[in-house]
Amino acid sequence: MEDAALIKMPFTYEEISSVLSYDPETGSLTWLSAVRNATTPGEAAGTWLMAKNGRRYLSITYKGRKMAAGQVAWFLHHKEWSDRSIQYVDDNSENLRISNLKKPAYASQRIVDADGVVSYKMGKEQVRHYGLARNYDGMTLTRYAEMFAEQSGCCAICKKPETAKIPGRRNNDYKSAGVRDLSVDHDHETGAVRQLLCNACNHMLGHAFDDPQRLRAAADYLDFHRKARPSLAVVRASPD
């Protein structure tokens, strides 16, 4: 089944609506006219096929073009061809009611291997979006962007931008490693999102087990030894 994000609709709404009827309440699609010898007006449109994931989906063929019924239903109801594959609210691909159809936030990347087998994978932003939603309740890319702007792109603790790099992420020159995103810090007991931290500060809290007393003791320890160490003038004057 083609990804709608990567193919263009060759037919106008007027043409499709003249041969197909869609009932948004029931999700049924019927032919309004005979488009080939095998179809008659009033006949249910489409053929049920099995996708690789084991789910059945309705495929509609018009003038040699195979189209997913969910995509066609969306087109007939909204009068616009979705730029990405339609998804199902209840995850049931056989439920074509308009209330069950939704347009995903991100389009998938289409991959064709050497044997011509087509597969799809989530793009970088899509992975980030669903990763945030999965790991942090209610977190979205939009909310992340808002928090990033509120913090001026800097860590909430050290007030500096992220500098840690990820070898697998490339900058625009495709040569040097790209910088990490600021990490989403959250309360490990309640799951509540706190703020955005750089990799170093985020690990610092993690290694301290989010224990304020330990962190204060560490700060006192550093202050004590900073005061106790000899001045640079004394160190430079001492013999080797």
Is the confidence at residue 194, as pLDDT, over 80?
Answer: yes
Identify the structural domains of the chain with CATH numbers, from first to last. 4-121 (3.90.75), 138-228 (3.40.1800.10)
106-165 pLDDT, tens digit per residue, is 555 555 666 665 455 555 655 565 566 666 766 777 778 788 888 998 999 999 999 988
The SS3 call for residue 233 is helix
**Dist CA 145 CA 237 (whole Å):** 52
CB 13 within 8 A of CB 79: yes
Chain centroid offset of residue 166 CA: 19
Is the confidence at residue 16, as pLDDT, over 70?
Answer: yes
**Dist CA 145 CA 153 (whole Å):** 9
- Please, which residues bridge with residue 121 across strands? 109
200-222 average pLDDT score = 94
Residue type, 223: D
pTM (two decimals): 0.47
Say what angle helices 141-150 and 124-135 make with each other, to 10 degrees: 90
Structure-token pair, residue 191: 């799951």
- Please, which residues bridge with residue 59 across strands? 47, 68
> 170 vs 31, which has greater pLDDT?
31
pLDDT range class, residue 174, cuts 50, 70, 90:
very low
